[in-house]
Amino acid sequence: MPALNDLLADDSSSGRHLLVLTDARGEILWRVGSPEVLRRADRLEFSEGADWSEAGIGTNAISEALVTGRPVQLFSAEHLVRTHHEWACTAAPITDPATGRLLGVLDVSGPLDTISADTLRMVRCAVRVAESLLGTPDGGAALGASVPVRASRRAARRPVAAVESLELLGDKPAAVFRDGSRVPLTLRRAEILSLLDSRSQGWSAEELAYELYGDAGTTAAIRTEMFRVRSMLGEAVESNPYRLVAGLAGSSDSGRVLRLLREGQVADALESYRAPLLSRSGALAVQLLRDQLDLALGSAVRSSGDAGLLARWLSTDMGAADFEAVEALGRLVGRGDARYLAFRASAGG
């Protein structure tokens, strides 16, 4: 990758093409490009972990290189999928110089006006360089050690012990590591992790696809996201089925709230419940988890017989509309109490 990056990649702000490397099955391992090109590729699921073989997504330059074993260029409607018609792609297979075995495919893709016949010559040249490196005694490892892979998008895998907890409450989800670092999560990955955190027996790719995308969900989209999650969190997520490993399950901030409630520590649970679960998520499955958390804490607070806890609960965004809690407070402090009257007005009673 360092050599290929130097030859073909352009991850500058003005870069317009994408450099992609797949394995022998057509699964994308690395991609390098500008932020804008990467965003456009994301919309096509042209990203790490995606299957770009003929069976995975239909005719494209990568699949043609896999099938024919030769360099190939495809333009516009030569791609099977209509949404790819604005792209042109150039791909060539990389083989083991000792055995001739197919190892993967090198691809350069971009908008139609960014690819030319020169691109095909450049890709073929880069493949020869890659195969020459593979033919050296160390397989090119010395070059890899001396030249940083500055544009590789694949995150370094962290050991599972480094993952300490997940922050899923509020609108800025993140993974927290034992060294104190905090890595932000995209909303979709946070939604997946919130589902994994909610069920110890795990989820299949089909179940996650349905829960998060409905009938339009595909297992390919889930597997792509899970590839990214596992690249970020190391082996913290198991597969078949997908689930958090022992020790991480229930370690999220939302899981802590539920754990404290089960232990009867209502005041501590209320203190820990600082914001709704993934407040920006509109996924029905996440909304149900959010409602369950509200119901569990609200019920515990109402049953506590503690006016202070009731007032604190009613002061939060999650408890502000809990009219039953307002009435429970009124029975404790009297219906003429200013606190009761203020919360009753806020709750619309």
Element (H, E) at 41: helix 35-43
Residue identified by tokens 């590729």 is: 41
Nearest to 107 by CA among 36, 56, 156, 53: 53
The Cα 271–Cα 326 span in angstroms is: 19
Helix axes 205-213, 219-233, angle to 10 degrees: 100
- Give me the pLDDT at residue 138, please: 52
- Give me the pLDDT at residue 6, please: 76
* Cα angle for residues 122, 125, 129 (degrees, 5° grid): 135
β-bridge mates for residue 33, sequence order: none
- Give me the pLDDT at residue 294, please: 94
Nearest to 4 by CA among 153, 102, 125: 125
- Give me the pLDDT at residue 159, please: 43
- Strand, coil or helix: 75: strand
Give the full edge-to-edge strand order of the sheet including 28-32.
Answer: 28-32, 18-23, 102-111, 87-95, 72-75
The Cα 70–Cα 272 span in angstroms is: 59
- Give me the pLDDT at residue 146, please: 39
10-residue block means of pLDDT along the chain (349 residues)? 79 81 90 86 81 78 86 73 72 90 90 70 87 70 43 39 85 89 86 92 89 80 76 80 84 93 94 94 92 94 93 92 91 90 80
